[in-house]
C-alpha cells in the first residue's frame, strides 16, 4: 500500500448496480406542489399538452464567470427508473386532499418518463448563465413532475464540480488535491456527492471510503491526532520489531529511531527535549503497521521524530512517504520541512528524502491557497474539507426550470427584474470558437433557424440590451445539445466519471484565461440571434400589461 495511504484505487469497476440504488432519488423526492399541480393539470385536461422546459442558472457561482455542468448521469438514471411504487401511491392517497379522484392515482401508478425527450450539454462542459444546460420536452404533467428532482440532482453537483475546478486552478496542476470533507458535509448524501463531484472537478482522491467503492475514486488518507495522542511514552510500545524489507532480518525500529534522533538533533541543531516520547512511540508503531507507506501527522515539533523514524525505516529497507501539517503557518512550516528533508538527504546520504511528500490541511480555501502561492510554499498536496464540500463561499447554484413552450406556443415569464425574464420558445444553443480554439460566445437561436456556419458572419445580440451586439465569424461551431433520453431509453453512451473529469479539463482549456481568473474575471458572452431577439421582445410587449395613468 502506498501512502498517502491508498486502498487499491484502480482496477475495480464501478458498481453500477449499487449506484443505481441511490434509494433517495425517487419520484417522491420532490416538492408537494409538483404533485398537486399534476392533479390540477390532469383535471383540466392538460396532461398531454406538449411542453418544453429549460433548466438553467442565472449567475455563475463564487464570483466567477464559468460553471461546470455536472449531475447529468444521475438525471438520466432518474428518468430510467421513474415510477411510483404501490407504497408511494398509498402515501399520496393519504396525503393529497380528500376528493382527489381515484382515477388520478391509477394514472400516476402507470406513469413513466417514456414520452419525455431530454437534451443536454455534455456533463463536465463549462456552461454559462441563461444557456439551458438541460432541455426537457414531453407531456406537461410528467415534464413538470420532474422539476424538483432534476434541479436537486444538477444544482449541487454542478456547484461542487465548479468549486473543485476552481481549487484545481489555483493549486496548479502539479499539486495533489484530496477531498477530506465527509465529516463536515451536508449529511451523508451531501458527503457522497461532494466526493464524487470534487473528483469530477479535478481532485485526485477522497478520504470517503464509500465514495471510493461506489464511484471507483482513489481513496487516500493519513491519520488523525488521536493516533499520536493515544501514546504517552515509549513504554507503551507493544512491538518495536520490524523485518528488513529485503533481507528479512528483524530489527528494533525504536532503537534505530532513538539513535537517529540523537544524531539528527545535532545536525538540525534542535533540542531532543522538545520532541515528545509519546509522539515517537506513535510514529514507530505506525511505521511498523505501514512500513512502505509511512506518512505522519506532525505538529510544529514533530519533524525531528518523523525524520528519526523515517531514517530508522530506511535502515530496514523502507522509504517513508511524508508528513501532514495541520496547524500553524503552513507556508513557513512546509518550507522548514522541505529544508529539513534536504539537509537530512545530504547529511545521511538518503537522496529520496528530498522527495518526501508534504501534505497540508486545516481550513483551507481558495484564498488560502492563493496566499500560500504568493508567500512561496513547499506543499505537494492539500487535504481540503469544510470549505470545499459546504461550498462555503456560495452554498447554492440557483438553477431553475422554466416552461418556455406549450403546444408549440412560446411562453415567457416576465419580471420586474430583467435578469429573471425567461427566454421563450424551443431553442438551440451553439458555442462559437475562434481560430485559436477559444470559445468566443454562446449563441441561442430558435430551433427553426439554420445553425451558424463556419466562416460566415453571424450577428450576436445581447438578449436585453438593444445596443449591445457584435458580428462573430466562427472558425468552429458546436451545437451544445445532444439527445440523451428519448422513447424510454438513454440514447448516448454515457462517459465514465474519469471521462467526465477529462472533459472538465478539456472544456476549461477552451476558455480564455481572463474568464477564469479569480479576481474580476471577464464575463463570457451569451447572445441571442437577431431572430430570437425580435421574437423575445415582441412577445414581451404582447405579454406586458399597459399601465394607465390618471
Choose among ligand ATP, Mg ion, ligand PRP, none what residue 375 binds, the Cβ cut-off being 5 to 8 Å by kind: ligand ATP
The gap from C-alpha 301 to its chain's centroid, in whole angstroms, comes to 35
Within positions 279 to 338, which residues make up the interface with ligand PRP, using CB under 6 A?
A: 326
C-alpha span between 154 and 127 (Å, rounded): 12
Cβ closest to ligand NIO, residue 218 vs residue 317: 218
The gap from C-alpha 362 to its chain's centroid, in whole angstroms, comes to 20
Cβ closest to ligand NIO, residue 82 vs residue 180: 180
Please identify which residue in 15, 101, 236, 363 interacts with ligand ATP, judged by CB under 6 A. Answer: 363
N-terminal to C-terminal alpha carbon distance within the chain: 82
Cβ closest to ligand NIO, residue 26 vs residue 362: 362
Look-up: residue for cell 456560495? 394
Q: Nearest distance from residue 280's CB to ligand NIO, in Å? A: 20
For 210-243, the three-class secondary structure string (H helix, E strand, C coil) is HHHHHHCCCEEECCCHHHHHCCCCHHHCCCCEEE
Choose among Mg ion, ligand ATP, ligand NIO, none what residue 180 binds, the Cβ cut-off being 5 to 8 Å by kind: ligand NIO
Look-up: residue for cell 438593444? 466
C-alpha span between 354 and 350 (Å, rounded): 8
Buried b (16+ CB within 10 A) or exposed e, 90-114: eebeeebeeebeeebbeebeebebe
Please identify which residue in 47, 81, 117, 362 interacts with ligand ATP, judged by CB under 6 A. Answer: 362
- Host H or E run for residue 55: strand 50-56
- Host H or E run for residue 254: helix 253-268
Cβ closest to ligand NIO, residue 149 vs residue 206: 206
> Is 148:27 a contact under the CB 8 Å cutoff?
no
Cβ closest to ligand NIO, residue 64 vs residue 181: 181
Binding mask 352-371 for Mg ion (x = CB under 5 A): ----------x---------
Look-up: residue for cell 412560446? 410
CB neighbourhood size of 501 (10 A): 21
Query: How many H-runs (helices) and E-runs (strands) does the chain carry?
Result: 19, 25
Cβ closest to ligand ATP, residue 50 vs residue 362: 362
Q: How many residues does the chain have?
A: 550
Choose among Mg ion, ligand ATP, ligand NIO, none what residue 383 binds, the Cβ cut-off being 5 to 8 Å by kind: ligand NIO
| Cell numbers placing 255 | 532503537
Choose among ligand NIO, ligand PRP, ligand ATP, none what residue 384 binds, the Cβ cut-off being 5 to 8 Å by kind: ligand PRP
Enumerate residues 6+ apart whose C-beta is below 8 A from 3: 220, 222, 290, 293, 294, 295, 321, 322
Q: Nearest distance from residue 228's CB to ligand NIO, in Å? A: 12
- Closest residue to ligand NIO, judged by C-beta, is 221
C-alpha span between 200 and 115 (Å, rounded): 31
Does 161 engage in binding with ligand ATP (CB under 6 A)?
no
Does 328 engage in binding with ligand ATP (CB under 6 A)?
yes
Within positions 195 to 234, which residues make up the interface with ligand PRP, using CB under 6 A?
A: 224
Q: Nearest distance from residue 360's CB to ligand ATP, in Å? A: 8
Choose among ligand ATP, ligand PRP, Mg ion, none what residue 371 binds, the Cβ cut-off being 5 to 8 Å by kind: ligand ATP
Does 138 engage in binding with ligand NIO (CB under 6 A)?
no
| Cell numbers placing 125 | 462542459
Choose among ligand PRP, ligand NIO, Mg ion, none what residue 543 binds, the Cβ cut-off being 5 to 8 Å by kind: none
Phi and psi angles of residue 109, each rounded to the nearest 5 degrees, phi first: -60, -25
Contact segment (CB under 6 A) with ligand PRP among 359-367, 422-430, 454-462, 486-494 equals 359-367
C-alpha span between 172 and 485 (Å, rounded): 37
- Closest residue to Mg ion, judged by C-beta, is 362
C-alpha span between 163 and 67 (Å, rounded): 9
Binding mask 146-185 for ligand PRP (x = CB under 6 A): ----------------------------------x--xx-
Does 322 engage in binding with ligand NIO (CB under 6 A)?
no
In the complex, the residues that contact ligand NIO under the rule CB under 6 A are 180, 207, 221-222, 324, 361, 383, 385
In the complex, the residues that contact ligand ATP under the rule CB under 6 A are 327-331, 362-364, 368, 371-372, 375
In the complex, the residues that contact ligand PRP under the rule CB under 6 A are 180, 183-184, 224, 326, 361-364, 383-387
Amino acid at each position: 500500500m502506498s501512502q498517502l495511504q491508498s486502498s487499491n484505487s484502480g482496477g475495480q469497476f464501478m458498481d453500477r448496480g449499487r449506484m443505481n440504488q441511490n434509494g433517495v432519488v425517487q419520484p417522491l423526492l420532490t416538492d408537494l406542489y409538483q404533485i398537486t399541480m399534476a392533479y390540477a393539470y390532469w383535471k383540466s385536461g392538460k396532461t398531454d399538452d406538449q411542453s418544453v422546459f429549460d433548466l438553467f442558472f442565472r449567475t455563475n457561482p463564487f464570483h466567477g464567470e464559468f460553471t461546470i455542468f455536472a449531475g447529468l448521469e444521475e438525471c438520466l438514471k432518474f428518468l430510467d427508473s421513474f415510477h411510483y411504487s404501490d407504497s408511494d401511491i398509498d402515501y399520496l392517497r393519504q396525503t393529497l386532499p380528500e376528493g382527489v379522484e381515484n382515477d388520478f392515482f391509477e394514472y400516476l401508478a402507470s406513469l413513466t418518463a417514456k414520452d419525455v425527450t431530454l437534451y443536454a450539454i455534455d456533463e463536465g462542459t463549462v456552461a454559462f448563465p441563461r444557456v439551458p444546460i438541460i432541455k426537457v420536452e414531453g407531456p406537461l404533467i410528467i415534464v413538470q413532475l420532474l422539476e424538483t428532482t432534476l434541479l436537486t440532482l444538477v444544482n449541487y453537483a454542478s456547484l461542487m464540480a465548479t468549486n473543485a475546478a476552481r481549487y484545481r486552478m489555483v493549486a496548479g496542476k502539479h499539486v495533489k488535491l484530496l477531498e477530506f470533507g465527509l465529516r463536515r458535509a451536508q449529511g451523508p448524501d451531501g458527503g457522497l456527492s461532494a466526493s464524487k463531484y470534487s473528483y469530477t472537478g479535478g481532485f485526485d482522491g477522497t478520504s470517503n471510503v464509500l465514495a471510493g467503492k461506489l464511484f471507483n475514486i482513489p481513496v487516500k488518507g493519513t491519520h488523525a491526532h488521536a493516533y499520536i495522542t493515544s501514546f504517552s511514552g515509549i513504554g507503551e510500545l507493544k512491538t518495536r520489531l520490524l523485518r528488513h524489507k529485503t533481507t528479512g532480518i528483524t530489527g528494533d525500529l525504536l532503537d534505530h529511531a532513538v539513535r537517529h534522533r540523537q544524531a539528527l538533533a545535532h545536525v538540525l541543531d534542535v533540542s531532543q527535549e522538545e520532541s515528545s516520547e509519546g509522539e515517537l512511540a506513535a510514529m514507530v508503531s505506525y511505521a511498523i503497521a505501514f512500513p512502505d507507506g509511512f506518512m505522519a501527522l506532525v505538529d510544529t515539533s514533530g519533524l525531528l521524530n518523523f525524520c528519526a523514524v523515517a531514517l530508522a525505516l530506511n535502515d530496514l529497507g523502507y522509504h517513508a512517504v511524508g508528513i501532514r501539517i495541520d496547524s500553524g503557518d503552513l507556508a513557513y512550516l512546509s518550507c522548514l520541512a522541505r529544508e529539513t528533508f534536504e539537509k537530512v538527504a545530504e547529511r545521511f546520504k538518503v537522496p529520496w528524502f528530498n522527495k518526501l511528500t508534504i501534505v497540508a490541511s486545516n481550513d483551507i480555501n481558495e484564498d488560502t491557497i492563493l496566499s500560500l502561492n504568493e508567500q512561496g510554499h513547499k506543499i505537494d498536496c492539500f487535504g481540503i474539507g469544510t470549505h470545499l464540500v459546504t461550498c462555503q463561499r456560495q452554498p447554492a447554484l440557483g438553477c431553475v426550470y422554466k416552461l418556455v413552450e406549450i403546444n408549440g406556443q412560446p411562453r415567457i415569464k416576465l419580471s420586474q427584474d430583467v435578469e429573471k425574464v425567461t427566454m421563450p420558445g424551443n431553442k438551440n444553443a451553439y458555442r462559437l470558437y475562434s481560430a485559436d480554439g477559444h470559445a468566443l460566445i454562446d449563441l441561442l437561436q430558435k430551433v427553426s433557424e439554420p445553425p451558424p456556419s463556419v466562416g460566415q458572419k453571424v450577428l450576436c445580440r445581447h438578449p436585453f440590451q438593444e445596443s449591445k451586439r457584435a458580428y462573430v465569424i466562427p472558425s468552429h461551431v458546436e451545437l451544445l445539445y445532444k439527445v440523451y433520453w428519448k422513447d424510454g431509453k438513454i440514447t448516448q453512451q454515457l462517459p465514465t466519471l474519469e471521462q467526465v473529469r477529462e472533459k472538465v479539463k478539456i472544456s476549461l482549456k477552451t476558455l480564455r484565461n481572463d474568464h477564469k481568473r479569480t479576481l474580476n474575471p471577464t464575463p463570457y458572452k451569451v447572445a441571442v440571434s437577431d431572430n430570437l431577439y425580435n421574437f423575445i421582445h415582441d412577445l414581451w410587449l404582447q405579454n406586458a400589461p399597459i399601465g394607465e395613468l390618471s
